[in-house]
Amino acid sequence: MGDTIVEPAPLKPTSEPAPGPPGNNGGSLLSVITEGVGELSVIDPEVAQKACQEVLEKVKLLHGGVAISSRGTPLELVNGDGVDSEIRCLDDPPAQIREEEDEMGATVASGTAKGARRRRQNNSAKQSWLLRLFESKLFDISMAISYLYNSKEPGVQAYIGNRLFCFRNEDVDFYLPQLLNMYIHMDEDVGDAIKPYIVHRCRQSINFSLQCALLLGAYSSDMHISTQRHSRGTKLRKLILSDELKPAHRKRELPSLSPAPDTGLSPSKRTHQRSKSDATASISLSSNLKRTASNPKVENEDEELSSSTESIDNSFSSPVRLAPEREFIKSLMAIGKRLATLPTKEQKTQRLISELSLLNHKLPARVWLPTAGFDHHVVRVPHTQAVVLNSKDKAPYLIYVEVLECENFDTTSVPARIPENRIRSTRSVENLPECGITHEQRAGSFSTVPNYDNDDEAWSVDDIGELQVELPEVHTNSCDNISQFSVDSITSQESKEPVFIAAGDIRRRLSEQLAHTPTAFKRDPEDPSAVALKEPWQEKVRRIREGSPYGHLPNWRLLSVIVKCGDDLRQELLAFQVLKQLQSIWEQERVPLWIKPYKILVISADSGMIEPVVNAVSIHQVKKQSQLSLLDYFLQEHGSYTTEAFLSAQRNFVQSCAGYCLVCYLLQVKDRHNGNILLDAEGHIIHIDFGFILSSSPRNLGFETSAFKLTTEFVDVMGGLDGDMFNYYKMLMLQGLIAARKHMDKVVQIVEIMQQGSQLPCFHGSSTIRNLKERFHMSMTEEQLQLLVEQMVDGSMRSITTKLYDGFQYLTNGIM
Amino acid sequence: MAQVEKRGGLLRKSSASKKPLKEKVVLMYDEIFMTEDPSKCSPRFWEELFLMKALGEEHPIRVVNALQTLCALIRGVHQKNKSTSGFDIINMLMGFDKAELCMKNLMESLDSLLCAEGSESLKSLCLKLLLCLVTVTDNISQNTILEYVMINSIFEAILQILSHPPSRREHGYDAVVLLALLVNYRKYESVNPYIVKLSIVDDEATLNGMGLVIAQALSEYNRQYKDKEEEHQSGFFSALTNMVGSMFIADAHEKISVQTNEAILLALYEAVHLNRNFITVLAQSHPEMGLVTTPVSPAPTTPATPLGTTPPSSDVISSVELPLDADVQTSNLLITFLKYSSIVMQDTKDEHRLHSGKLCLIILTCIAEDQYANAFLHDDNMNFRVNLHRMPMRHRKKAADKNLPCRPLVCAVLDLMVEFIVTHMMKEFPMDLYVRCIQVVHKLLCYQKKCRVRLHYTWRELWSALINLLKFLMSNETVLLAKHNIFTLALMIVNLFNMFITYGDTFLPTPSSYDELYYEIIRMHQSFDNLYSMVLRLSTNAGQWKEAASKVTHALVNIRAIINHFNPKIESYAAVNHISQLSEEQVLEVVRANYDTLTLKLQDGLDQYERYSEQHKEAAFFKELVRSISTNVRRNLAFHTLSQEVLLKEFSTIS
């Protein structure tokens, strides 16, 4: 749910360390968390009433254009007529919702979540109770998904299908993989309930359409090929890709739009080439994508893609609106495949740079990065900044992408192309505001942001009239006046007072400046990404912005993305969802655990994109580059033990360690080596690569017996086993575990639904969900939990030395 | 007639060596150029000539004949009337009253032939005619007939050729050379539309096309040179390849010399100098040329191609798609150019190479002044291995190519400059080139200082090269002073050091590199001491060099301060510790310990430079250069127009 409208009221009291509410106050540390049984008593009817009103207002806003007149038709939940409801949902969802809202105020205070769930078994007789729950403000998207999944009642499913319309888009988006997986793999009633909402959203957003199409493809891929072809998922995917879900009225809207309101300078004469680029240029890319016989999944994917490309060619006059984006993605993937054929990192890097520079010729275009959280057009890929990431046989790579933010992707026209070197006018050496020679000015001028205001004027020199025979001299300005007499007058000592400087100062400034820039990594041809990732993000943004012809535009943004070709990111997506859920649970329960879920775009069953964690490098890289222990590295980067910077970095380290230890335990994340753990500039650790979770673990390595990775180096950074920070770490783990188990359903649900129809290794075996649930230890007292945490920590510590610790096994399997 | 043949050479072979096979039209042409008026003997001569082949007006052979006739006519008339003014020649060829219309028609026809989807041979011939027209005079600016080419621009046709890969492959070279020459017509006197137009081209496909043509010609040169070098080195191979090589390369008896190609270099210069968009093309990646081309294409050095055949080297690369060949190393025009420069600048003794070397340095100067070019030169992410050619010298071994580090491109530029500095200290001192070389280094340093780029470069090599150069200047003072003002160069070198000394904090990579600078200065203090006494001597007596020398004395103030500050400290350190010879580490230790008591003078304008300006300073050079290029192009054009028989065959079979 996460909605500001409803949430604050019931939750505030629980999360405060109040002595008042009845519950088990097991020790002072634990009092922060209370079990959620008694919480409904604190609902204030007035607050609830207000919240309902707000929801109502919002619904009105959402469907502002539609006149709502049909009041009075009572909602029939018992009516299982799904077909009918589908049509109704599409045509007139607001009316229905409005009904619900009207009743909400009256019913909200009388039901509890648990009560409703119990009564559900009594079926139709108790429907009203269920209805009351559904209509209550407690009914959030998580519950909706849960009922959609668990309910066998077509009526309930249809109702929830309708109800989806009144959740916030962002909230539903989070569960999109679950919704679509249910759509693909569950029975028809569920599918029918979901479809109207999906179709509705596809009509609204091109990005949503793309995500749906990609996910539908990816989650259908585990089906047998014969069933897949005719499956509901495949059909919906085709429907989306065929572009029939394009909003009908959009066409009429388009011509009236004023061209390029967002670009300050868009010399109209340059647009002639770009205008056709969206479709034509990108279509030519499609031939690049060759089939790889070794991978049937890809082949299958390609078949579909190529067939859809043909249709683009046929209906050239009205290009499919998803086509440019899909071609963009496809060419990024094709680059990855080609890189994989090259033997050395150096060759890969060079090839990557030159491939991207060619890709640049086709930008800007009507393409976007789906991992971004705002509407934008991609205008340029600063190709020289791209790096190949460390991988044995595949060639994942990281690119930076310059985009121009816009209000609405569909309606804003594609920005005009600005030639690469256009930057010269605004940023050229001659124009840098540094003509003086004093050191003060020197120091100051560097950070000065050049003034871009006169950009248009600066380029009015395009007029032929001003281009006289000596063209380059057009650019000369005041700086040159100085240079006229510079060389000769350098040493003329007269007229001016001589300025003296101390050699020591120069030397000192040099060492200071190098010390101030956080230790840059050395370039290593075998590890090209280390340097690029180490550079502070803000610094990188500034640098790339300065070097970009689009950099002066106010809506310029820099994004980055890792392109993975040949990797299945569906597990990563699942891990992302779980992490995100845990994060919001911990936030809600005010446990200061820190984790960093990073966005995942599943493109197919063997390709995708990842949003990189900025300002972070792997611990492996840290140790290799710095040749220091982790603690010494902390001291070097943040200062000595007592400094504020070190202490806050240490706190961050502890909070993130605790968070990820829980994640690793709950999700059984394996393959935890230092290359898969990042360290960011603030001291947080971030686990990446969730290739081995739940029921899967790497072969040949035996299994990692410890619950999570906790090395002596980590403990050293925390200040040793006896330090306060280490106790804090354990306490955080306990609080985090208690909070997580309070909301276990929300976590388990995500995993459980995705298991449907899945062949992913993480779902291997039959006990994945049961084991997951068991790891939440619902039946333990908090004292027992505390003991558990102690033992897990101890186990992880001891596994460093003995590697033969099996007490934890006993604990997990025995005590329950 | 005989005279025409000799000079123009257009019809030489067919008339001289193949007498029995002479076509009738040739015979009749011969008669025209006989001293007697042919119509005197046979009154119907002209009718006969023009009726000879009754082909339709649009028939290609007719067009070919017309174009060839025009070539011969234009060249013949010029040859005969060398001293005549351009206006008289126009009058002679067309008559003043009709000239404008005639030329308009001609240019329009050429334009449409070049742009049409027609025979490649025809297009080639059109370009030959234009090249012929452009190069008839030695001094292009005296070729008055070009006024009509200015008015009736074929610029767009040239661009079109360059922007389309197939036509670029066939005619790119001629088009680029033609453009380079046209740009130089009355460059400094009037507004040349080709200059204006070239300077505003911003179509990437066209500019890339131009870049590819240039890159190809340069890398072809590099390849040939490398082949020759290898051939020269391995006697085993030489016997075999020499035979093959001598068939195609005119002066095979020379040691390692491949004729330089100033025309293409001029084109590169004009593109870099005039068109600000072209700079981006320099960095545009393309796969290494030499590796892609099949070794079996022994193209002529001056790639004026025989008509109807393939161009000098096969251009396998389309600018849009890269081949999937894993072995191909990506390269770019700049790298190719740097390699070319390293070869050309090795030996500056003959005039062509001197010209080429100078032009290379001028192009580098333009690049070093350009912000965008600097940005990618210094881009830490764009690392390349650049195999520069190094002159084999007694005291050093040829560096193994394989061990070259992958570095930002600016390192290769600096390497090239260092290489030049250390290899040209000779009696025939190329002062002008040295000045340009130091300027390039200075401009790069200015950029680094301004943008705080901390380049990990072995600055020590540069420092010691510069000090050695100073030593050379001093030891050859008398010889050099007779010809050059050596103080300008000395001042520039000293100021480079001043740049490092006073602004080192802004661009040196590490604190220890600053220490090393001091170490190097202290180590070589004798050279600076000598320089100081020399300039002091010359600035105190009232000679010709008084002023120039006194500037150097003032510029030396900081270097002398450093020497005077540290030397006593080092001596006392040695005395206290009873060491006769201090190690580098010990000296550095003394240096580090004694910075704080040293005061330096901040000198003005160290980071300022005069921007390159062609019109004011280089006009004479370019006039001379264009003259030599014109002669060269004309010469090679004449040789190849012979194979037009091939062309005639092509068309007669088609029709």
From B503's Cα to the closest Cα of chain A, the distance in A is 8
Which chain A residues have a beta carbon less than 8 Å from that of B613?
Answer: 470, 473
Average the pLDDT over A637-656 and give the result: 91
Question: Which of A442, A493, A514 lies closest to B511 in CB terms?
Answer: A514
Mark which residues 350-389 of B lie under 8 Å from A by CB: 366, 369-372, 374-376, 379-384
Average the pLDDT over A346-356 and give the result: 84
ipTM rounded to 2 decimals: 0.75
Residue A210 three-state SS: helix
Average the pLDDT over B631-646 and give the result: 68
Residue B531 three-state SS: helix
**B10, pLDDT greater than 70:** no
Residues B18-62: pLDDT tens digits? 455 666 777 777 777 776 777 777 777 777 776 665 565 666 777
**B428, pLDDT greater than 60:** yes
From B38's Cα to the closest Cα of chain A, the distance in A is 49
Give the rounded percent of residues in chain A with a pLDDT score beyond 90: 15
Which chain A residues have a beta carbon less than 8 Å from that of B597?
Answer: 504
From A150's Cα to the closest Cα of chain B, the distance in A is 52
Average the pLDDT over A190-196 and give the result: 85
* Lowest mean pLDDT across A133-137, A557-561, B187-191: A133-137
DSSP bridge pairs for A502: B599
**B641, pLDDT greater than 70:** no
**A86, pLDDT greater than 50:** no
Which chain B residues have a beta carbon less than 8 Å from that of A521?
Answer: none
Residue of A nearest to B608 (CA): A483
Question: Which of B199, B279, B506 lies closest to A442 in CB terms?
Answer: B506
Q: What is the pLDDT of residue B65?
A: 73
**Residue B199: C-alpha distances to residues A474, B195, B252, B626 (Å):** 12, 6, 39, 19
Distance CA A670, CA A677 (A): 12
pLDDT band at A584 (very low <50, low <70, confident <90, very high): very high
Average the pLDDT over A396-412 and give the result: 88
Is residue B650 within 8 A of residue B151, CB to CB? The reply is: no
Contact B195 A346 (CB under 8 A): no
Average the pLDDT over B447-455 and give the result: 90
Contact B277 A419 (CB under 8 A): yes
Is residue B362 within 8 A of residue B618, CB to CB? The reply is: yes
Domains A129-239 and A569-596+614-811 share a fold: no
Residue A221 three-state SS: coil
Q: Which string of DSSP letters, residue by residue, matches B71-100?
A: HHHHHHHHHHTTTS-HHHHHHHHT-HHHHH
* Best-predicted range by mean pLDDT (A89-98, B35-44, B263-272): B263-272
Average the pLDDT over A279-291 and give the result: 36
Is residue B468 within 8 A of residue B422, CB to CB? The reply is: yes
Q: Determine which of A439, A469, A495, A527 to mutate to test the interface with B (most B C-beta atoms within 10 Å).
A: A469
Tell me what the pLDDT averaged over chain B comes to. Answer: 79
Contact A469 B192 (CB under 8 A): yes
Torsion sign across C-alpha atoms A38, A42, A43, A45 = positive
* Lowest mean pLDDT across A520-524, A800-804, B614-618, B642-646: A800-804
* Best-predicted range by mean pLDDT (A15-19, A96-100, A656-660): A656-660
Residue of A nearest to B559 (CA): A503
Tell me what the pLDDT averaged over chain A comes to. Answer: 69
Average the pLDDT over B89-100 and give the result: 79
B446 lies within 8 A of chain A by CB: yes
Q: What is the pLDDT of residue A758?
A: 81
**A107, pLDDT greater than 70:** no
Contact B196 A464 (CB under 8 A): yes
**B363, pLDDT greater than 90:** yes
Contact A446 B374 (CB under 8 A): no
Distance CA B60, CA B120 (A): 11
A515 lies within 8 A of chain B by CB: no
Residue of A nearest to B275 (CA): A471
Residues B286-295: pLDDT tens digits? 654 433 333 3
What per-residue string of b and e applies to A354-393 under the rule 16 or more CB within 10 Å gives b? bbbbbbbbbbbbbbbbbbbeebbbbbbbbbbbbbbbbbee
Stronger pLDDT, B7 or A580, i.e. the higher one:
A580
Mark which residues 197-216 of B lie under 8 Å from A by CB: 199-200, 202-204
Question: Domain-by-domain residue ranges, chain A?
Answer: 129-239, 321-412+523-565, 569-596+614-811
Nearest to B326 by CA among A396, A385, A285, A337: A337
Contact B611 A476 (CB under 8 A): yes
Distance CA B572, CA B578 (A): 9
Q: What is the pLDDT of residue B352?
A: 80
B603 lies within 8 A of chain A by CB: yes
pLDDT band at A410 (very low <50, low <70, confident <90, very high): confident
**Residue B258: C-alpha distances to residues B224, B336, B420, B573 (Å):** 7, 16, 19, 57
Which chain B residues have a beta carbon less than 8 Å from that of A468?
Answer: 191
* Lowest mean pLDDT across A653-662, A687-696, B359-368, B396-405: B396-405
Residues B513-554: pLDDT tens digits? 999 999 999 999 999 999 999 999 888 877 788 888 989 999
Stronger pLDDT, A128 or B599, i.e. the higher one:
B599
For chain A, helix (H) and strand (E) counts, in that order, are 37, 10
Which chain B residues have a beta carbon less than 8 Å from that of A286?
Answer: none
Residues A449-461: pLDDT tens digits? 333 333 333 333 3
Q: Look up tokens 């260092």; give the residue.
A: B418
Give the rounded percent of residues in chain A with a pLDDT score beyond 70: 61
Q: What is the pLDDT of residue A130?
A: 75
Nearest to B456 by CA among B505, B401, B513, B498: B513
Question: Which of A434, A442, A462 lies closest to B200 in CB terms?
Answer: A462
**A65, pLDDT greater than 90:** no
**pTM for this predicted structure:** 0.67
Average the pLDDT over B618-622 and give the result: 90
Question: Which of A469, A506, A510 lies closest to B615 in CB terms?
Answer: A469
Residue of B nearest to A439 (CA): B503
What's the token pair of residue A692? 């081995």
Mark which residues 614-633 of B lie under 8 Å from A by CB: 614-615
Distance CA A413, CA A705 (A): 56
Distance CA A357, CA A495 (A): 52
Residues A480-491: pLDDT tens digits? 333 333 333 344
* Lowest mean pLDDT across A43-52, B408-417, B426-435, B541-550: A43-52
Q: What are phi and psi of A757, to 5 degrees?
A: 65, 15
From A355's Cα to the closest Cα of chain B, the distance in A is 8
**Residue B221: C-alpha distances to residues B214, B218, B227 (Å):** 11, 5, 10
What's the token pair of residue A105? 């105020």
Question: Which of B380, B495, B596 lies closest to A502 in CB terms?
Answer: B596
Distance CA B462, CA B445 (A): 12
Mark which residues 287-306 of A lie under 8 Å from B by CB: 288
* Best-predicted range by mean pLDDT (A8-12, B300-304, B629-633): B629-633
Contact B274 A471 (CB under 8 A): yes
Stronger pLDDT, B136 or B493, i.e. the higher one:
B493
The CATH architecture annotation of domain A569-596+614-811 reads Orthogonal Bundle (1.10)
Superfamily of segment(s) A129-239: Phosphatidylinositol 3-kinase, accessory domain (PIK) (1.25.40.70)
* Best-predicted range by mean pLDDT (A190-194, A319-323, B10-14): A190-194
A446 lies within 8 A of chain B by CB: yes
Size of the A and B interface in Cβ pairs below 8 Å: 214
Residues B139-198: pLDDT tens digits? 888 888 888 899 898 999 999 999 888 888 888 999 999 999 999 999 888 889 999 999
Average the pLDDT over A388-408 and give the result: 86
Contact A490 B606 (CB under 8 A): yes
Nearest to A162 by CA among A256, A87, A105, A68: A87
Q: What is the pLDDT of residue A421?
A: 66
* Best-predicted range by mean pLDDT (A414-423, A505-514, A643-652): A643-652
Is residue B141 within 8 A of residue B637, CB to CB? The reply is: no
Is residue A74 within 8 A of residue A781, CB to CB? The reply is: no
Average the pLDDT over A195-221 and give the result: 87
Stronger pLDDT, B252 or B209, i.e. the higher one:
B209
